[in-house]
Structure 1
Amino acid sequence: METRELQYFVAVAEELHFGRAAQRLGMAQPPLSRAVQRLERRLGATLLERSSRGVALTPAGEVLLREGRAALAAVSAAERRTRRAAGADGRPGLVLVTKAGASVELLAKLLDAYAAEPGAVPVHLLLCGPGEQEGILRDGRADVALLHLPFDSTAGLDTEVLQDEGQVAVLPAGHPLSSRDRVELSEVEALTDAPLRFPAPAGAGPDVGIHGSTELFQLVGLGRASAVLPESVRLQLGSEHAVVPVVDAPRVTTVIAWPPHSTSLSLAALVRTATRL
């Protein structure tokens, strides 16, 4: 199976329309249709049901769409990492992706310790929003990532645990709950004087959540938001904030993650440094 054939099929399977798929691919419809037919003959399976009502995926087509997306993503990731390893993208070294504002002290210690290692290569930081670092690692834009369980998925990745910590409620200084030595998650979620919550509730619209630590901490200080975050966030807070341990919040485990097939000696050295901290 050729990569181009797979790209053709995925486009048709996602659009469920040969005309739209051909436009998306920048080609004429007849050669696209012939390419998909050749792929079906080669596989010995009908991938698409064609009728006057349109195009629908067969069970075999659903499997190939799922597997094809993963295969194309892997090819794209391999291309990005190969170009970076060769310095073809102008950024020799490693790219480490992490959520902006997360694990700040741990990250600083890791970068300093690795930089002191013989043969260390430049480490370029890629800061992202909550939950974005996993996708950036998987699609090849980064070589290594700091992920946080249970919020990020590490399925199919190699990992090492770096830190495990409880969570705290971040509140404005002087808030009634700030005098407590502990609170429960439901108490923080029930706050009526903080209309925005972080992380945003599942399924919430874009106006309900907060998507950056600077914005979050400012809103908390103003009494306009509440947050439940890993205990290490204390280092980033000011006098306008208070923190209280949340006894029933899940613990947060920070891991360093990388693709399982990586043979980069520089990446291996970075991981060894991280696990020594």
Structure 2
Amino acid sequence: MNDLEARQLRYFVAVAEELHFGRAAARLGMAQPPLSRTIRELERQLGVMLFERTTRQVELTAAGEVLLRDARTALEAIAAAAHRARHAGSTSPRLRIALKADIDGGLLPRILDAYSADPAALPPELVLGGFGEQPQALRDGRADAALVLCPMDDRGLDSEPLVTEPVLVALAATDPLAARTQLCLADLAGRKLPSGAPADAGHATARRPGSASPASNLSEIFNLVETGSIVFFAPASVARRNPRPGVAYRPVSDLPECTLAIAWPQDARSPAVAALVRAAGAIAAGLPARAEPPVESTLPQGHRH
């Protein structure tokens, strides 16, 4: 059997994720016939069927499911090798930290100060991204470490929890629910998250504050909240840093807490990454225990487990 090519794997992953040859071809910027030929050739090369094709749908076979998992890992490794080689070959390679702006538990300035206490340490480069993009930035080599909300996709990554805090619901100050001091998920029936998912869906949506939002930043999200178009699950630290007259933050009794962690690739051997993890851990270890807010407060304090 000939060695598989990255191009074949990339084409296969597109079809496997779209489960539609036309959409996969559009995603790849190519015509459908050569894509179909490539997939048929890949199946002949492997000696197995990767897709079950009917006139109505395309589905992965058991062999296709296995190849999809391993193909993603292989493509990530190829991308990571290129990114890391370019970074290492730069004149003064700096530590790259991936994060979503404002989702740092308020710890980032202190972590950077502690890391930069070493005179030999170059100022880190911040790699900003959207909600949930940070683990992938680590896997494909665009970042060396990341601040992430857990749970996360931790394939190939190690992590250390830093701070766990309550998650509040942000809703319009004019919403009738804002008159109450505490809510439960069932109270949010009929309201939508930024992703369009129902706010009362429980763990399926509540475990990832801010997940899958079409709005590009928190300012846009809060503007939509103020109009009553959506509600938003915000970590307490985000609520504290974003007081707005038109937004009310309320605790939700059955909404899981969220944990901010620092993550890095399992195969990392960088002294700079190790120094950053130590700095982050030291800052988190010095956090005070959670102070329960007064009942009338809308901004509970974060805490350290």
User: CA shift at 1:13, angstroms?
Assistant: 7.5
1:198 and 1:79 map into 2 onto residues whose CA distance is 35
CA RMSD of aligned residues (A): 3.9
List aligned pairs for 1:25-174, cutoff 5 A: 40=45, 46-47=47-48, 60=63, 63-87=66-90, 92-103=93-104, 105-150=106-151, 152-173=152-173
Residue 182 of structure 2 aligns with an amino acid whose one-letter code is R
**1:235 corresponds to which residue?**
240
In 1, are the aligned partners of 2:139 and 2:156 still within 8 Å (CA)?
A: no
Q: Flag the structure with larger Rg.
A: 1
Give the unaligned 5+ runs of structure 1.
Answer: none
User: CA shift at 1:12, angstroms?
Assistant: 6.0
**1:274 corresponds to which residue?**
280
Residue 248 of structure 1 aligns with an amino acid whose one-letter code is D
In 2, are the aligned partners of 1:136 and 1:142 still within 8 Å (CA)?
A: yes
The structure-2 alpha-carbon separation of the partners of 1:61 and 1:153, relative to structure 1 and needing over 3 Å to count, comes to: closer
The structure-2 alpha-carbon separation of the partners of 1:164 and 1:232, relative to structure 1 and needing over 3 Å to count, comes to: same
The structure-2 alpha-carbon separation of the partners of 1:175 and 1:70, relative to structure 1 and needing over 3 Å to count, comes to: same
Structure 1 position 261 matched with structure 2 position 257: no
User: CA shift at 1:144, angstroms?
Assistant: 1.3
Q: Give the TM-score taking structure 2 as reference length.
A: 0.67
In 2, are the aligned partners of 1:196 and 1:209 still within 8 Å (CA)?
A: no
The structure-2 alpha-carbon separation of the partners of 1:270 and 1:181, relative to structure 1 and needing over 3 Å to count, comes to: same
The structure-2 alpha-carbon separation of the partners of 1:227 and 1:94, relative to structure 1 and needing over 3 Å to count, comes to: same
In 1, are the aligned partners of 2:105 and 2:260 still within 8 Å (CA)?
A: no
User: CA shift at 1:147, angstroms?
Assistant: 1.4
Give the unaligned 5+ runs of structure 2.
Answer: 199-203, 206-212, 284-305
In 1, are the aligned partners of 2:13 and 2:71 still within 8 Å (CA)?
A: no
**1:249 corresponds to which residue?**
255
User: CA shift at 1:209, angstroms?
Assistant: 5.2
The structure-2 alpha-carbon separation of the partners of 1:196 and 1:86, relative to structure 1 and needing over 3 Å to count, comes to: same
Task: Give the total of aligned pairs.
Answer: 253
1:232 and 1:104 map into 2 onto residues whose CA distance is 5
User: CA shift at 1:175, angstroms?
Assistant: 4.2
2:2 and 2:115 map into 1 onto residues whose CA distance is 41
In 2, are the aligned partners of 1:47 and 1:57 still within 8 Å (CA)?
A: no
Structure 1 position 216 matched with structure 2 position 221: yes
The structure-2 alpha-carbon separation of the partners of 1:264 and 1:178, relative to structure 1 and needing over 3 Å to count, comes to: same
The structure-2 alpha-carbon separation of the partners of 1:46 and 1:247, relative to structure 1 and needing over 3 Å to count, comes to: same
The structure-2 alpha-carbon separation of the partners of 1:165 and 1:14, relative to structure 1 and needing over 3 Å to count, comes to: closer
1:213 and 1:61 map into 2 onto residues whose CA distance is 39
User: CA shift at 1:221, angstroms?
Assistant: 3.0
What CA deviation, in whole Å up to 9, does each residue of 1:234-253 have, x standing for no partner? 22223413222111101101
1:162 and 1:139 map into 2 onto residues whose CA distance is 24
What CA deviation, in whole Å up to 9, does each residue of 1:53-94 have, x standing for no partner? 9xx98755653453233113212212211221221xx67212
1:2 and 1:117 map into 2 onto residues whose CA distance is 50
Residue 108 of structure 1 aligns with an amino acid whose one-letter code is P
1:185 and 1:7 map into 2 onto residues whose CA distance is 46
In 1, are the aligned partners of 2:10 and 2:75 still within 8 Å (CA)?
A: no
1:229 and 1:260 map into 2 onto residues whose CA distance is 29
What CA deviation, in whole Å up to 9, does each residue of 1:214-260 have, x standing for no partner? 11122223433322211111222234132221111011011111100
The structure-2 alpha-carbon separation of the partners of 1:119 and 1:62, relative to structure 1 and needing over 3 Å to count, comes to: same
User: CA shift at 1:186, angstroms?
Assistant: 2.1
